[in-house]
Amino acid sequence: MNVPVENYLVLAALIFAIGCAGVLTRRNFIVILMSVELMLNAVNLTFVALSRQLVSMDGQMIVFFVMTVAAAEVAVGLAIFLAIYSQRRTVNADEISLLRW
């Protein structure tokens, strides 16, 4: 069975929207970071589907880089969480509000 490219794009758009919604509604920073990863995975799906559609390798190549960048982002994110957690024993977005005006 040949799945048309539109289906992949719609699925990717849905995943991206779920990721966005997660970032906006969740309160735990680790879950927020996971939602960001979800957005990046939607991007990867789009690129791979389009790459097949266009018969070009560029789309697959960029996925490798997006994956690496995502991993680097998680690493830096977790390191910052550790610093925050050791300072205040929480990773809850509502409780981290020193910087306000």
Partner 1 sequence: MEPSALGNVASLAYSLPEIVLGAAVVLLFLLDLVVTRKETLGDVALVTLALVVVLSARLLWGDSAALYNGAVVVDGFALFFKLLLALAAFATVWMSLGSREIQKNGTGEYWAVLLASTLGLLFMASSTNLLMAYLALEFVSLTSYVLSGFMRHSRRASEASLKYLIYGGVASGTMIYGMSWVYGLAGSLDFRAIHTALMSGQGAALPLYVALLLTLAGLGYKVAAFPFHMWAPDVYQGAPIPVTAFLAVGSKAAGFALMIRFFFTAMAQSVGAGVYQLVGGVDWSQLILVLSMVTMTFGNLAAVAQQGNVKRLLAYSSIAHAGYMLMGFAVLNDDGLRAMLFYLTVYYLMNLGAFVVVMLVANSTGREDLAGYRGLAWRGGALPAVAMAIFLFSLTGLPPLAGFVGKFYLFAAVVEKQLYLLAVVGVLNSVVSLVYYARIVRTMFLEQPTGGEGVVAVDWHNGLLLGLLTIGTLVLGVAWGPLIDFAGRSTHFLAY
Partner 2 sequence: MNPYIALLISFALCAIVAGIMCGASWLLGPKVENKAKSEIFETGNPPLGSIRGIRFPVKFYLTAILFVVFDIEVVFMYPWAVVFRRLGWMGLGEMAVFVAVLAVGLAYVWRVGALEWD
Q: Which residues bind partner 1 (CB under 8 A)?
A: 9, 16, 19-20, 23, 29, 32-33, 36, 39-40, 42-43, 46-47, 50, 53-54, 56, 58-59, 61-62, 65-66, 69, 72-73, 76-77, 80-81, 83-84, 87-88, 96, 98-99, 101
CA distances from 17 to 9, 46, 65, 76, 95 (A): 12, 13, 22, 24, 26
Counting contacts by CB under 8 A, is residue 2 touching partner 2? no
Query: What are the phi and psi torsion angles at 83 (to 5°)?
Result: -60, -45
7 lies in the binding site for partner 2 (CB under 8 A): no
